[in-house]
Amino acid sequence: MSNETFSILVVDDEPANIDILLGILKPFYNVKVAPSGVIALKIVEQYPPDLILLDVMMPGMDGFEVCQKLKSDPVLSQIPIIFVTALVQGENEERGFSEGAVDYITKPVSPSITLARVKTHLSLAHQMRTTESLVRKRTEDLMKSQQSAISMLAAAGHYNDTDTGHHIWRMAAYSKCLALRCGWSYEQASLLAQAAPMHDTGKIGIPDSILKAPRKLTDAEMTIMKTHATIGHTILAQSDTPLFKMAAEIALCHHEKWDGSGYPAGLIGEDIPQSARIVAVADVFDALTMKRPYKAPWSDDDAFDYLQKNASLHFDPCLVDFFVEARDEIVATKQYWNDLEKEGTLPSIDNFLPQVVY
């Protein structure tokens, strides 16, 4: 990268000092000048430079204050600042470094030292930006891979169920709504929304003859069907990331019931992970309000009534209360996903809720 691609802002209230630094730097860099701290801040906001040479002793706003303001801005804080000063080293130099400066150049400036210091810090800043860009790109690639894994595992769990449509994504949206309503952070609620669609991953291990049986399952078949919870947990627990750890506990426990009559472990009350309790409410509400070959969709009123009647039996009563309180958000989310299903579209799994819900 040639020097001409770098821009430098020189800040000094003395025209003679500016002329000296211009003479040293202009043959190699794009240089802008500012005669005061106030003007410097305005220039930086409009045309952020790659590096700033900043005089310390200026009337009105001195260099330390300019540095403080720049370092308090998340966007501008990464610009390296070199103080140019006639002050003796020691306390003032220590303060400059504590304010965020990367180096000092003492007056009268030496052309060779100035060029060497500027080149060094521009190179370091460029390397840092390049590294940060690579990290962002790799993080984006990792997130895409993770989202693909979520979609594939969710689809695998419902591969033999041709009538679910957007069910797994819609119930994930309800789960996020409910998690936010009962106090989860936005980040954790979003993690739950990504984990929830994988709750039936274990159905991939259930024979087609049971999954597609056009009748009520026998007791023996139901025993096999119930193993999908432990199968899903076994598959998802192979990853130790927060996302898949949550997905594994949901897969294992989403059929547990508040009164202990669920499976596979017969857990009671708060012994059931809250993530699974949330998904249980969201999953059943969506199943009730879906049209299936063997039933018409229930009305919203009937579905909410069912949840309330089964609070303290199947469902965590506090979560049912929160779900009912969030009725407007739930209904808006349901309409949002129904519209998407009619269009045949599926947004990013990070965008589970309609804008009105945020």
Q: Which two tokens stand for residue 69?
A: 């303001």
pLDDT tens digit string along 166-190?
Answer: 788 889 999 999 999 999 999 999 9
The letter for the amino acid at 176 is K
Task: Look at the alpha carbons of 157, 163, 168, 171 in this order and tell me if their dihedral is positive or negative.
Answer: negative
The string of DSSP letters for 143-170 reads HHHHHHHHHHHHHHHTTT-TT-TTHHHH
For residue 129, the model assigns a pLDDT of 79
To the question of pTM greater than 0.85 for the whole model, the response is: no
**Taking Cα atoms as reference points, which of 107, 214, 231, 224 lies closest to residue 162?**
214
Percent of the chain with pLDDT over 70: 85
**Other beta carbons within 10 Å of 203:** 22
* Chain region(s) in the chain for CATH 3.40.50.2300: 3-133
For residue 67, the model assigns a pLDDT of 93
For residue 356, the model assigns a pLDDT of 40
CA 104/CA 39 separation, integer angstroms: 22
Confidence of residue 12 (pLDDT cuts 50, 70, 90): very high
Between helix 186-195 and helix 274-289 the angle, nearest 10°, is 60
* Chain region(s) in the chain for CATH 1.10.3210.10: 142-357
**C-alpha angle 176/154/322, rounded to 5°?**
20
pLDDT tens digit string along 47-73?
Answer: 999 999 999 889 989 999 999 999 999
The letter for the amino acid at 86 is A
For residue 32, what is the enclosing H or E element?
A: strand 30-34
Mean pLDDT of the chain: 87
If one looks up domain 3-133 in CATH, what number appears? 3.40.50.2300
Q: List helix spans (H) across 54-106.
A: 63-71, 91-99
For the ranges 55-59, 111-115, 157-161, the lowest mean pLDDT is seen at 157-161
pLDDT tens digit string along 296-316?
Answer: 899 999 999 999 999 999 999
Q: Between the CA of residue 264 and those of 4, 31, 88, 316, 357, what are the distances in Å? A: 68, 70, 74, 17, 34
| The domain defined by 142-357 carries CATH number 3.30.565.10 | no
Place of tokens 């130099």: 93
